[in-house]
Amino acid sequence: MKDLKAIFGKEFESKLTGDGYGVFRACAPVLPADFTTAAFGRPFAEDDGGNLFTELPDGNICFWDHETDDLTVIASTWDDFAKSCIPPKPVELKPGQVKSVWVDPEFAKKMGMTVPKDGWIKRKA
């Protein structure tokens, strides 16, 4: 049995593609309408963008891009994949680097924040 708890909250840098993937979490209970396990493999995790991580019958681990339906092999085996999962690197922003941010208006209301109706807070020029 694969230990999914060991990868959740972590990210992965593929030796096959050179790209980073994650941060991993459990899949949503309902998969996207255009996703099929026959075409894309068995999903075991997703990232915060709605992309899925799947395992093919041959053991390859893949990244499924929900916007393009592209399937990319990112690891040859589960063990290779799991060994390369690491805690996410902290994001460091420089003062003035963020030009705008979207805050869910309902979340803002619960937190006592005031945001525009569309949720976008923009830095003054």
State how far the Cα of 85 lies from the Cα of 78, in Å rounded to an integer.
11
Coil, helix or strand at residue 45: strand
Q: Give the number of residues written for the chain.
A: 125
Closest alpha carbon to 44 in 87, 2, 72: 2
Q: Return the closest-CA partner of residue 54 out of 100, 19, 46.
A: 46
* Full-model pTM: 0.74
What's the pLDDT score for residue 125?
Answer: 63
Confidence band (pLDDT; 50, 70, 90) for 36?
very high
CA distance 121 to 125: 12
Looking at residue 83, its pLDDT comes to 92
Over range 16-39, report the average pLDDT: 91
The SS3 of residue 52 is strand
Segment 42-79, tens digit of pLDDT = 999 999 888 999 999 999 999 999 999 999 999 999 99
